[in-house]
Structure formats: structure tokens, C-alpha cells
Chains A and B, each alone.
Chain A
């Protein structure tokens, strides 16, 4: 309860500071709209249906990007943990790919895969892949050898060891990777929409800033993106609590 009060107080302080800056420097709405203006535009954009198609598009990209990037990250992380050869061969390329800014790769991917949903999912998956692959690798590598020996002493097969010991033991690290991955998935979707696309919250920001010149809408869209990120993160945390919350 005390935590929620602190969060609410923090939010109020930030909003008041924002409103104060706008009032003191007398910024017009097309430079820096006040929080009330943004909130009104936020509600209006939902009410008149401006947000919905863009929000749905971005959410689909985030979900598919997480699914594809997460699945590939899990498989690669497991391979890296299990095989020294796989680790030696793949690690340099994975790190190199991660070191290359996604903003630089996005136009290239748009060139190869077009600007449709597929290309945007690829970009999103690429950005999600790395933290999940690394956390999965670390998770599987840090499984207690003693537990595995206990399982083997009970004649557990390799599949049974994976299902009953390795995967549950690695789960906290894997979900830690998903915590990072889910926020990066939102970033990936916005970057992908900037690189090409006709719908999505990234596209709406561009429209609001350019053709529509509706800066309050741009801020309202930024707010919505932040809310999507926080909601996705909270979802992963809730899943984490559900799956591993009772461990000591």
C-alpha cells in the first residue's frame, strides 16, 4: 500500500513539474503541451477511434516479435549452454549483431523484406532475441549440477531432466530476459514502423509530428507507447510471480 502511495505521489510531482515548466516558460502546445492538454487529446484519440488501428497493429507486431524472437532466443540460448561448439561458432555473430544498432539494420531489413508486417516482426524479433538468448544460456548453464545428478540417480531421461529440473531451474533467468525483451519489443516495433509501414503507433507519431501537425496527439501517442511498455512488463512480472513466486 505504502509503495502505491509513493508511486502516486511521484507521478503527481512529475505532472506538476511538467505543468509548471509549461506555465513558467509559456510554451505553446505545438512546442510543449501541458499534461492536461495531452490527457484530453489522449482521451479524445481513444474516443474518436484514432488510436485503435495503430494500437492493434503495434500490439500484433510486439506479440509476434516476442513470439518469434523469444522462441529463437530460447532455442539458441539452450544450444549455447549445451554445446561448446555452438557457443564458439555462434557467439561472435550474436554479439556482433547485437552491437549493430537496430536503427541501422531496419532500413536494410525493409529493403529485403518490404515494409509489411513480416519485416516489422523480423526487426522486433531481432531486438528481442539477444537478451532472451543470453539469459537462457546463463539460466541453463547455472542449473545446480547436484540436482541433475539427483535426477540421473533416479534414472530420469534427458527429456525428463529438461522438463522437471533444467527448465524450472533456469526459469528465473529466462523470465529476466523476457522482462528486458518485452520492453525492447515495443522499441523494435516503433523502430520498424519508422523504417516503413502505414499503420502503428510509430507511424502515428510521424503523422502527428508531420502531416497532422498535432503535437498534443504526438505526446498522447508517446504516453500510450509508454503505457503499452509498462503493461507488457507488468504482464511478464505477473507471469514470473505466478511461476516462481513461491520459491525460497
Chain B
């Protein structure tokens, strides 16, 4: 089940080769990524999971060109990454909308940076908002939107330039469980329509397996690849797949790679004898 085959090198949308990265500490360098090699095929959805602070978000920022690799290479859309690229869209954990702008102006912000006129931006922006289901709130300010709607606008903004790669850094982590499941399904629909390659960072193992073709598990910092699990689900997927037994089996395998022991009622009782029944 582990170590699913990577796509052939020539067709990779993203290619990481022996990637290493360290943050500068007060005295020494703090290694965060320690030799990650990974190929991701066009239209593939890959989820990155790992322990807290393992470097998942750092890995995403390296692919997005916001950080520069210490050694090794990062290629995205057949180009070596030396900085942010228009073919890569990034959605952060928080929506990061500009509070003084309307929903429409936030979604079209990348187009404004590219020099498109107001008329061109408006037409494209309304189509983007429709794509993510917030076309009715085009003139609203971010503080007038719910958390879920704000994140939809952030996704619309990331899609504004028509990227071939979409990077998502725990985009739904602030949403409640029910809303999150709905968003997962909507993300799959969006993926089916846009055909982008998606790299998703998440803490939720079931969400990772539900959304992705492949789940890449990282070790504790400094991050290496502990293993890969291919999602057992076919496509298209429905929300009912979240309850599928095969998903649960794969989730156990992912947890195994993460080094989390399977917690049973017996194990819980042993961990906290004071709470055990007499």
C-alpha cells in the first residue's frame, strides 16, 4: 500500500528533487526539510500530512516560490521555481482578504496586479465568484461574509489567473466539521471543472484520503517522506465515501506511517486507569 509509483518524470506538474531547507536560527540553522524528492502528475491531487511543525506549510511555500530551497530543486509547470509564478495559485490557512475591498475586488486582485482594466476584471471576477458560489455577495466587504464564504473568495482569488497548479494550506481548518465536509465535496467539483493539479496540506487524514489521489506522509522535523498511501476511492467521489470502510482502512495505514498508535477503548483505559470502571 505504501510507496505508490510516482508519475513518469517527463509528465510531472511538480517535481521536487532532494529538496532541503533550513530556517536561520539565532545561533544555528534550523533544518526543516531534509531531502524530499517527489513527482506530482498534472491533474493529480496530492495531500501532504505530517505532525505539527513538520514543515508541511514550508514545503508548500517552497513550491509557491515564497521561500528559496537551501539545496535541491523545485520545478512547477515545467519551470524551475525561483519565485512566485502565475501558473501557481496559493490558498492560505486564513483567507487573507483585503478588508477595505469588496468581494469582487478581492477575487480580482491578481488581475489588477497584471494590469487588466476594471471592465475586464469585473467580467472575469463575476465568473470566478460564480465558480465558487459567492456571486451574490460581489459587493460585500469581507467582514460581512461568513468564514466559509471568505475562504471561497480566497479560492476564487487563487484561481483568478487560471493556474495549472493550486496549493492549499489547510484551507478549511477554521471551518466546522459539517461545513468542512461540504467544502471538500465542492473542492472536488471545482477540481473536476478546472483540472488543476492540487497539493493540499491537511491535518485531517480522512479528508486527505477523500480528496487526494495520493497521501504523502512526512516525518517529524526535519521532514522526510515517511511513505505514501494511495487513496482507495475511485472518481467521482461523493460525501458518502467519507464513511466507506476502505477509507477507514487506509486512514489506519496513514496513521501508522505517522507513528500514531491505534487507539482502542482498551488502550484508552490503560492510559487513564483512574477513569476505568470499578
Contact = CB atoms under 8 A, between A and B. Distances in A.
A142 interface: no
A154 B158 CA distance: 8
Closest 4 CB pairs of A and B: A248-B143, A150-B96, A153-B90, A154-B110
A168 interface: yes
B96 A248 contact: no
Contacts of A144: 96
9 contacts: A153-B64, A153-B90, A154-B110, A155-B85, A156-B113, A164-B98, A164-B113, A247-B99, A248-B141
A164 B109 CA distance: 9
Contacts of B65: 153
Contacts of B144: 248
B158 to A, nearest CB: 9
B99 A248 contact: yes
Interface of A: 144, 146-147, 149-150, 152-156, 160, 164-165, 168, 171, 244, 246-248
Interface in B42-92: 64-66, 83-86, 90, 92
Nearest to A150: B96
Given A146-B94, A153-B90, A248-B144, 6 more contacts: A144-B96, A147-B98, A150-B96, A154-B110, A154-B157, A247-B100
A147 B94 CA distance: 10
B120 interface: no
Nearest to A165: B98
B99 A155 contact: no
Contacts of A153: 64-66, 84, 90
Contacts of A247: 99-100, 141, 143
B142 interface: yes
A152 B84 contact: yes
Interface string B112-126: 110000000000000
Contacts of A156: 113
Given A154-B84, A154-B113, A164-B113, A246 B100 contact: yes
A150 B113 contact: no
A43 B237 CA distance: 80
A106 B55 CA distance: 59
Nearest to B96: A150
Q: Is the interface of A mostly helix, strand, loop or mixed?
A: helix
B134 to A, nearest CB: 16
Given A244-B100, A247-B143, A248-B143, A155 B92 contact: no
A156 B112 CA distance: 10
A106 to B, nearest CB: 40
B85 to A, nearest CB: 8
B100 A146 contact: no
A91 to B, nearest CB: 25
Contacts of B142: 248
Contacts of A165: 98
B159 to A, nearest CB: 12
Nearest to B66: A153
A61 B42 CA distance: 65
Given A246-B141, A248-B141, A248-B143, A154 B96 contact: no
B154 to A, nearest CB: 9
Nearest to B102: A246
Contacts of B66: 149, 152-153
A147 B98 CA distance: 7
Nearest to A147: B96
